[in-house]
């Protein structure tokens, strides 16, 4: 289990760093465009790694079907995460995204019959309450509003992404190599995101030709075109994403899914600090309280 925990912590650091970089590329190149490119790069890197270390490819039809379904959940999660980070604030969205570790505990209990402790069960609602507080702003006159729609997209990403994370343990537990488990799921994820990208791009183009605004344009809204000079950032995000998912798979192979889910999301604190420092985000006292509750809930879930 110790080896699995180490891989979980490596995943945490890479996810935290990538949260900051993803916020940059999503705002610069558009949500769908950046998601499609970075997922594809990560997919190629993961295949290269599996081939380089000589992992045998043996997979059953049932495993392919399951990973296809999990790939759909992962695609929804990625799109939600990228949109959440584009809308921001990063220092609010990231702790909400960290909730996926706690939600993974629930899915692991349901799907895998894993049994967390009483302290860990207490930590889950504390983290959930913190996520709600971090998402809200109370204005004068006791008027409450969402800070942006970013937290909503983050919660959608958490709910479906956690299902995908826990479900990956099933084929690994049944003997499928963790590398090919992640790669097969990623193949479907890339395919789904690319299909959505093409559909929305076509709809947006047709609406623009007719002189009409499209509500879908926000998904492909961008400031810069991708060139060889500025595309290196997308490549970096893709490579780091590949590293995080390979180590996540190794973690699942050596430790319970709920533990790896929690550990891997603890690195979101890096993104919170980065959002304050690099994006000059300023949170209200209630939001800082929410961030603190998320941290406390996660610590209880991990240490329990």
Instruction: Find the mean pLDDT for residues 127-144.
Output: 60
Higher pLDDT, 125 or 186: 186
The answer to whether 291 and 130 have CB atoms below 8 angstroms apart is yes
Query: Given this model, what pLDDT does residue 214 score?
Result: 52
Whether the pTM exceeds 0.85: the reply is no
Query: Given this model, what pLDDT does residue 304 score?
Result: 65
The tokens describing 106, both together, are: 């629930």
Residue 104's alpha-carbon distances to 48, 224, 225, 262, in angstroms, are: 29, 36, 37, 7
What's the pLDDT band for 220 if we cut at 50, 70, 90?
low
Query: Given this model, what pLDDT does residue 123 score?
Result: 77
- CA–CA separation, 239 and 21 (whole Å): 12
Instruction: Find the mean pLDDT for residues 177-192.
Output: 93
Higher pLDDT, 252 or 279: 252
- What mean pLDDT, rounded, does the chain reach? 80
Higher pLDDT, 7 or 151: 7
Residue 56: Cβ within 10 Å count: 7
Taking the chain, what is the end-to-end CA distance rounded to the nearest angstrom?
15
The tokens describing 301, both together, are: 């879930």
Query: Given this model, what pLDDT does residue 53 score?
Result: 92
CB-based contacts of 171, cutoff 8 Å, min separation 6:
59, 63, 66, 67, 181
What's the pLDDT band for 137 if we cut at 50, 70, 90?
low
Closest to 96 (Cα-Cα) out of 19, 182, 9: 19
The tokens describing 154, both together, are: 């983050």
Higher pLDDT, 288 or 182: 182
Q: Is the pLDDT of residue 186 over 90?
A: yes
The answer to whether 124 and 301 have CB atoms below 8 angstroms apart is yes
Q: Is the pLDDT of residue 258 over 80?
A: no
Tens-digit pLDDT profile for residues 46-87: 999 999 999 888 899 999 999 999 999 999 998 888 888 778
Instruction: Find the mean pLDDT for residues 275-291.
Output: 72
Higher pLDDT, 71 or 204: 71
Residue 34: Cβ within 10 Å count: 26
What's the pLDDT band for 242 if we cut at 50, 70, 90?
very high
Query: Given this model, what pLDDT does residue 231 score?
Result: 81
Q: Is the pLDDT of residue 198 over 90?
A: no
Q: Is the pLDDT of residue 131 over 60?
A: yes
């Amino acid at each position: 289990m110790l080896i699995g925990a180490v891989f979980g912590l490596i995943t945490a650091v890479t996810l935290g760093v990538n949260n900051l970089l993803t916020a940059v590329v999503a705002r610069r190149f558009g949500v769908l465009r950046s998601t499609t490119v970075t997922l594809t790069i990560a997919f190629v890197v993961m295949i290269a790694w599996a081939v380089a270390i000589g992992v045998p490819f043996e997979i059953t039809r049932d495993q392919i079907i399951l990973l296809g379904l999990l790939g759909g959940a992962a695609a929804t999660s990625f799109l939600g995460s990228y949109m959440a980070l584009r809308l921001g604030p990063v220092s609010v969205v990231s702790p909400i995204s960290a909730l996926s570790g706690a939600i993974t505990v629930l899915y692991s209990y349901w799907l895998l019959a894993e049994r967390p402790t009483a302290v860990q069960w207490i930590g889950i609602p504390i983290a959930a309450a913190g996520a709600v507080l971090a998402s809200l702003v109370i204005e004068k006159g006791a008027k409450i509003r969402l800070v942006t729609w970013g937290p909503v997209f983050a919660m959608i990403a958490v709910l479906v992404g956690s299902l995908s994370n826990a479900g990956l343990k099933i084929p690994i537990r049944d003997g499928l190599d963790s590398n090919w488990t992640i790669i097969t799921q990623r193949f479907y994820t890339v395919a789904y995101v690319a299909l959505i990208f093409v559909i929305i791009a076509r709809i947006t183009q047709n609406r623009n030709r007719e002189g009409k605004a499209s509500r879908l344009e926000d998904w492909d809204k961008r400031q810069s075109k991708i060139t060889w000079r500025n595309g290196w950032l997308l490549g970096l995000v893709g490579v780091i994403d590949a590293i995080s998912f390979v180590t996540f798979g190794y973690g699942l192979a050596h430790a319970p899914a709920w533990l790896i889910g929690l550990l891997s999301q603890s690195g979101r604190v890096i993104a919170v600090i980065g959002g304050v420092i690099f994006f000059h985000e300023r949170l209200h006292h209630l939001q800082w309280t929410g961030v603190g509750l998320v941290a406390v809930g996660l610590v209880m879930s991990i240490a329990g």
